[in-house]
Chain A
Amino acid sequence: AQSVTQLGSHVSVSEGALVLLRCNYSSSVPPYLFWYVQYPNQGLQLLLKYTSAATLVKGINGFEAEFKKSETSFHLTKPSAHMSDAAEYFCAVSEMNRDDKIIFGKGTRLHILP
């Protein structure tokens, strides 16, 4: 069975500050890992995806995430927060080569303070 745990249902950062959203995964087989963003009343948009190639994955909008197998983590970071980054962020996991079956975390709402 696979699962992800997102630490912190709400995170607040000041505009221009580092964004760090934490995600730990559990998987009995090599995983694919994802970060999605959801703006209010909209669907999810893929930010980035880890597929066992490079452990540091760069995504859209300046976000990146690092796969750390020893820590079973896949934390999302952005060096400098913008007001437009305010949204809900979901970490997700699937089995390798089974990205038709994605398991999502509960989400972290990111608030950007002016």
Chain B
Amino acid sequence: DTGVSQDPRHKITKRGQNVTFRCDPISEHNRLYWYRQTLGQGPEFLTYFQNEAQLEKSRLLSDRFSAERPKGSFSTLEIQRTEQGDSAMYLCASSRGQFNQPQHFGDGTRLSIL
């Protein structure tokens, strides 16, 4: 169990640029989740995948956000035309597909918009 890996750990970019984050889940986990955490808040659910299928998306996930998990393994989260309000920690988690299985979190990608 090597844990959930996220890359990069930190990203600084100018407003209006596109950014892409990667998440590698624990290998035998078929569920993968994305959360956003702003300063002083708890994580907010964005979306999740069961294998390669994106099963649910939060209304927080505007049209500028897109997530993929093409082969049911790693996932990417892309933000287009970044805005100041996108500055946050983006957390990825994974779990086994059965109920009552805990979500294991990565250390997150901290995005700073200049």
Chain A positions near chain B (C-beta within 8 angstroms): 9, 41-46, 49, 51, 90, 92, 97, 99-107
Distance of A46 Cα from B103 Cα, bound (Å): 8
Query: Which residues of chain A come closer than 8 Å to B65, judged between CB atoms?
Result: none
Distance of A43 Cα from B107 Cα, bound (Å): 4
Q: Tell me whether A102 and B107 are in contact in the complex, defined as CB-CB below 8 angstroms, given that A9-B40, A43-B93 are known contacts.
A: no
Distance of A101 Cα from B58 Cα, bound (Å): 10
Chain B positions near chain A (C-beta within 8 angstroms): 4, 31, 33, 40-45, 48, 55-56, 91, 93, 95, 99-103, 105-108, 110
DSSP class of A's interface residues: helix, strand, loop or mixed?
loop
Distance of A90 Cα from B91 Cα, bound (Å): 14
**In the complex, which of the residues B33, B48, B99, B108 contacts A97, with contact meaning CB atoms closer than 8 Å?**
B99
B31: min CB distance to chain A, Å = 6
Query: When the two chains form their complex, are residues A104 and B44 in contact, meaning their CB atoms are under 8 A apart?
Result: yes
B87: min CB distance to chain A, Å = 15
Query: When the two chains form their complex, are residues A101 and B42 in contact, meaning their CB atoms are under 8 A apart?
Result: no
Distance of A105 Cα from B43 Cα, bound (Å): 8
Q: Tell me whether A43 and B91 are in contact in the complex, defined as CB-CB below 8 angstroms, given that A101-B56, A102-B103 are known contacts.
A: yes
**In the complex, which of the residues B48, B91, B105 contacts A100, with contact meaning CB atoms closer than 8 Å?**
B48
Query: Which residues of chain B come closer than 8 Å to A102, judged between CB atoms?
Result: 45, 103
B54: min CB distance to chain A, Å = 12
8 pairs, CB–CB < 8 Å, chain A vs chain B? A41-B110, A44-B91, A49-B102, A97-B99, A99-B101, A100-B31, A103-B45, A104-B42
Query: Which residues of chain A come closer than 8 Å to B56, judged between CB atoms?
Result: 100-101
Closest 3 CB pairs of A and B: A104-B42, A43-B105, A44-B105
Q: Tell me whether A107 and B42 are in contact in the complex, defined as CB-CB below 8 angstroms, given that A46-B102, A100-B48 are known contacts.
A: yes
Query: Which residues of chain B come closer than 8 Å to A104, judged between CB atoms?
Result: 42-44
Query: Which residues of chain B come closer than 8 Å to A51, judged between CB atoms?
Result: 100
Query: Which residues of chain B come closer than 8 Å to A42, judged between CB atoms?
Result: 107-108
Select from chain B the residue with minimum beta-carbon distance to A44: B105
